[in-house]
Chains A and B, each alone.
Chain A
Amino acid sequence: MIDLAQSIVDGVLFGTTYAVIGIGFTLIFGVMHKINMSFAAASIAGAYSGLLVFLLWKTAPPIVVFATSAALAGLIGYAIYLLCFRFIPIASPLATLMSTVGMLLLVDEIIVHLTAGMPLSYPAIYDGYPIELGQLILRVDLLLVFLVCLVAMAVLLYLLYRTRLGIATRAVAQQPVAAQLCGIRLTQVNAITFVMTGTLGGIAGAMIGASVGVLSPLLSLPLTVKGLIVTVIGGLGSIPGAIVAGLLVGAFENVFQMWRGVTERDMYVMLLLFAFLVFRPGGLFRIAGARD
């Protein structure tokens, strides 16, 4: 029983990284009405690129690596916007699906090529002792990952709901023609959305790297699948949905990891996806408030 509680706690803490990745997928979908399949791979690539700091500064503290990961991931997000969306006919639903799947494979290839396919170690966020709460053990590194992701989500929500940029972003997502009539430029909002979600993804990637301790090209495909699962469970386009679903998927996979082992756990996560698609295809939260 205590094992179960322990798994759930660890899973929920780590699940915030899935929540952040899910928000990225959902936000791009909300604004572009297109899925960016390369998002999770780009987030891992962002985490990798933070390691470039060590070329200039051999003893850089972890926080500098994390910040560089986030910043370069924003840049990668912008590049993906230019390559996969800006000049691709948006009217064709398949075109951007193809371009972003292509980008997912390209990003992975580049990582494999540059690292010779070997995992690289990534700085830990904390390497002291865990906190003991009765029988529960609280991993401080996971707690910090949780807090960092929480702050990242809070900043995003602030930007979306309390700023002029947020008004523009939501306007474009909800009614692009009217947004233009208000003087909002679509291409500008689209580009900013990619930079914003890219940065967010880089933070998640960095936190994943920091809690696992290594980065490997093998991370990106499962993360893509989990990000998509989170968006399905949360409801495509719903940010609160993505947050709750992220924590749920985190807990779920950790519980199955305890019961069935790390090699089997992802199979059960997939089954969760099918269960949702069949029984609750709109996700946990259906978007309320729309009349039609």
Chain B
Amino acid sequence: MLDVRDVVTAYGKIEALKGVTLSVAEGRITCLLGPNGAGKTTLMYSIAGILKPRRGRIALKDREITGRAPDQVVQAGVALVPENRLVFPQMSVRENLTAGAYLRRDRAGIAADMERMFQRFPRLKEREGQLAGTLSGGEQQMLSVARALMSRPRLLLMDEPSLGLAPLVVEEIFRIVTELNRDGTTIFLVEQNAHMALKVAHHFYLMEQGRVSFSGTPGEVEEAEVIQRAYLGSRRAD
């Protein structure tokens, strides 16, 4: 579904991505692990069109989207749930969702999807008219996911959706990720919480210092020494 090849993205002279190659299989959940500063967010922004890669190629189902403006990437069927949620703080929950559907013109479809979001996230329904800036962290994360879904993406990118959330809320987020995937959305997820990710993802990449240093299945992740040390703590008894 998504093919990233030799992508180099730089901030001024510093290359944050030094030639990243990976691919995301259609209908699957792919997870990207990596320490702070590895370049995970930079990769997400490069795919979404917020940052322009210096070199390399990003393709969505054989259609090249490298260096396209963000609105064209959304139009191509990709949505990003950004790191730190980035809700519109002075807009109501409903207006945030309306903004998510900005490029769509089918009013009836938008209204139906809005109702669907409220069914999937009942907490948002209760807070429909409340300003997003006054929601709790978990609620803001739900809103950020729902807003991304309002564009009806085929590929959903999620950058650390569990960051700073209580364990129960993290469980809920992962339950939603699985549900979305079961309903046919391909998911590419950045996650530090490897234990949680192992329960849902089908394929893993590890990124370190701007390069992909590991690629494997959940089974291979559990075996890999590098990941064991950094993400799973000591070897578990089971």
Contacts and interface: CB of A to CB of B under 8 A. Distances in A.
B91 A168 contact: no
B152 to A, nearest CB: 12
Interface in A149-194: 164, 167-168, 170-171, 174-175, 177-185
A141 B80 CA distance: 54
A185 B71 contact: yes
A177 B50 CA distance: 7
A290 interface: yes
A287 interface: yes
B102 A170 contact: no
B233 to A, nearest CB: 32
A291 B151 CA distance: 27
Given A289-B131, A291-B134, A183 B86 contact: no
B163 interface: no
Interface residues of A, number: 21
Interface string B64-76: 0000011100110
Given A181-B80, A289-B134, A174 B70 contact: no
Interface in A174-225: 174-175, 177-185
B50 A183 contact: no
A182 B100 CA distance: 5
Interface in B136-172: 147-148, 151
A171 B79 CA distance: 16
Nearest to A289: B131
B48 interface: yes
B151 A287 contact: no
A185 B102 CA distance: 10
A182 B69 CA distance: 12
A77 B19 CA distance: 43
Interface residues of B, number: 29
Interface string B199-227: 00000000000000000000000000000
Given A185-B71, A289-B134, A291-B133, A177 B82 contact: yes
A164 B69 CA distance: 20
B133 A290 contact: yes
B48 A290 contact: no
A289 B90 contact: yes
B74 A182 contact: yes
Interface string A264-292: 00000000000000000000000101111
B74 A181 contact: yes
A49 to B, nearest CB: 34
Contact of A170 (B69, B86, B91): B91
B89 A182 contact: no
Contact of B70 (A171, A183, A289): A183
Interface in B94-108: 95, 98-100, 102-103
B69 A185 contact: yes
B131 A183 contact: no
Contacts of B103: 182-183
A78 B30 CA distance: 45
B87 interface: yes
A158 B216 CA distance: 53
B82 A181 contact: yes
Contacts of B99: 167-168, 171, 179, 182, 184
A183 B100 CA distance: 8
Contact of A174 (B91, B102, B151): B91
A181 B79 contact: yes
A93 to B, nearest CB: 18
B88 interface: yes
Contacts of B151: 182-183
A179 B49 CA distance: 12
Given A167-B102, A183-B103, A174 B50 contact: no
6 contacts: A167-B98, A171-B91, A175-B87, A182-B100, A182-B102, A183-B70
Interface of A: 164, 167-168, 170-171, 174-175, 177-185, 287, 289-292
Closest CB pairs A-B (n = 10): A183-B74, A183-B103, A178-B86, A183-B71, A180-B70, A289-B131, A174-B88, A290-B133, A182-B102, A182-B99
Given A181-B86, A289-B131, 16 more contacts: A167-B95, A170-B90, A170-B91, A171-B88, A171-B99, A177-B82, A177-B86, A180-B49, A180-B70, A180-B71, A182-B74, A182-B102, A182-B103, A185-B69, A290-B90, A291-B134
